[in-house]
Amino acid sequence: MVIVTDNDTLHEVCEGLRKTEFFAVDTEFLRESTYWSKLCLIQVAGGDVEAIIDPLAEGLDMRPFLSIMADTSITKVFHAARQDLEIFYRLMGQVPLPLFDSQIAAMAAGLGDSIGYDTLVQKMLRRTVDKGSRFTDWSRRPLTDKQLTYAIGDVTHLRDLYPLLIGRLEDRNRLSWVDEEMENLTNPALYQFDPEEAWRRMKIRKYTPQWLAIMRFVTRWREREAQTRDKPRGRILKDDAIYEVAQQAPRTVEALGRMRAIPRGFERSSMAQGLLGAINDALTDPAEHAPKVERPQAMPSGLGPVVEMLKVLLRIKAEDLGVAPRLIANAADIERLAAYDDADIAALKGWRREAFGEDALRLKRGELSLTLDGKRALIEAR
């Protein structure tokens, strides 16, 4: 294991990684009190290289390593990559490709839904992961030997898992499943936090132009404040407060102070004027400022029997595939599929359509039937 704190050592590590077809990557970061993740460590393992890069080391130039991350001839292997990718997207301005997420691969291989890293290592490598240093302050220096051993294990195990997962996926002809899921995970829009789009993360509770306009403008204001101050969104204003503001439309400091979801004393803070400004701007023309949102379609009545039959079909298919039913379709998907043959749901796209969706439509058309053989449900063509 190499500890990288200077540019010469980083250059040697990067030269070693360039000779590999793939390498495992993990990060340690802090985010409890900030908007942006504070990167504290980067761990890599590929070929003969096992290294911990300290991005907090004085004078360390990360550009050679980021160049490796951008090299499309080398696969980068992560486990549950979403937060790691957010960090690298901010550093690089792009998603590191090609990418392989072992959690998604394990799901496709029938090893469990959202399986944890330590469980996956135990199942496939028969190794035990030491969890003792998981929740430590990775920004403090010097790091202990125990912390370093824990950190490097995250990638050495992952390096060894990768070929086993690839083999298992090939045996089951499911590499295409992983490719489809990777397309979703590597969508740059996931890692772009545009304040103009912040309202899309909120639940739509009313469809009046005034409610929607205030909700949109206030979430935009909150996102900008959170990014500028580098504070979590909830430290600026919680979601429940935004919903109440959208409902009550307070326009003065006094009105803000009377609201239950607004923290006591907030109306006297420096942020109060910004919040009131966002509300009043939204109210200048609610119809113009409201985002264009379609009301959800009402479900037709009498779908109960169809929903129950589809649930049985889903359980049969999932059992045959060795995956969790909710990986293929959730309850809301099943209801929409029961109502509409062209529902815009994941179960009617890609590998999920092939694995379940087509037969679900055939079942609805009466081309398949469900029967019992003792205690086992079977699917039969009619």
- Residue 180, domain CATH: 3.30.420.10
Range of the domain at 85: 2-191
pLDDT score recorded for residue 222 = 98
Indicate whether 173 and 53 sit together in one domain.
yes
Q: Is residue 261 part of a domain?
A: yes
pLDDT score recorded for residue 17 = 97
Indicate whether 138 and 54 sit together in one domain.
yes
pLDDT score recorded for residue 1 = 92
Indicate whether 223 and 202 sit together in one domain.
yes
pLDDT score recorded for residue 96 = 97
pLDDT score recorded for residue 376 = 80
Global pTM reads 0.89
Indicate whether 33 and 180 sit together in one domain.
yes
Eight-class DSSP state of 201:
G
The Cα–Cα gap between 370 and 379 comes to 5
CATH number assigned to the domain comprising residue 374: 1.10.150
What does the pLDDT profile of the chain (382 residues) look like in tens digits? Answer: 999 999 999 999 999 999 999 999 999 999 999 999 999 999 999 999 999 999 999 999 999 999 999 999 999 999 999 999 999 999 999 999 999 999 999 999 999 888 899 999 999 999 988 776 677 899 999 999 999 999 999 999 999 999 999 999 999 999 999 999 999 999 999 999 999 999 999 999 999 999 999 999 999 999 999 999 999 999 999 999 999 999 999 999 999 999 999 999 999 999 999 999 999 999 999 999 999 998 887 888 889 999 999 999 999 999 999 898 988 999 999 999 999 999 999 999 999 999 999 999 999 999 998 888 877 888 888 7
CATH number assigned to the domain comprising residue 267: 1.10.150.80
Indicate whether 222 and 243 sit together in one domain.
yes
State both tokens at 8: 């010469």
Indicate whether 120 and 12 sit together in one domain.
yes
Q: Is residue 295 part of a domain?
A: no
The residue from 138, 167, 191 where one domain ends is 191
Contact predicate 282/213, CB 8 Å: yes
Indicate whether 9 and 150 sit together in one domain.
yes
The residue from 135, 163, 191 where one domain ends is 191
Indicate whether 31 and 146 sit together in one domain.
yes
Indicate whether 333 and 210 sit together in one domain.
no
pLDDT score recorded for residue 136 = 86
pLDDT score recorded for residue 139 = 94
Q: Is residue 299 part of a domain?
A: no
Indicate whether 94 and 184 sit together in one domain.
yes
Would you list the DSSP string of 279-345? HHHHTT-HHHHS---PPPPPPPS--HHHHHHHHHHHHHHHHHHTS-HHHH--HHHHHHHHH-TT--S
Q: Is residue 297 part of a domain?
A: no
Q: Is residue 117 part of a domain?
A: yes
Q: Is residue 375 part of a domain?
A: yes
Indicate whether 249 and 365 sit together in one domain.
no
The Cα–Cα gap between 94 and 191 comes to 9
The Cα–Cα gap between 328 and 334 comes to 10
Number of domains in the chain: 3
The residue from 191, 224, 255 where one domain ends is 191
Q: Is residue 72 part of a domain?
A: yes
Indicate whether 27 and 156 sit together in one domain.
yes
Give backbone dihedrals phi and psi of 279, rounded to 5 degrees, phi first.
Answer: -65, -50
∠ CA 125-129-134 to the nearest 5 degrees?
145
Q: Is residue 371 part of a domain?
A: yes
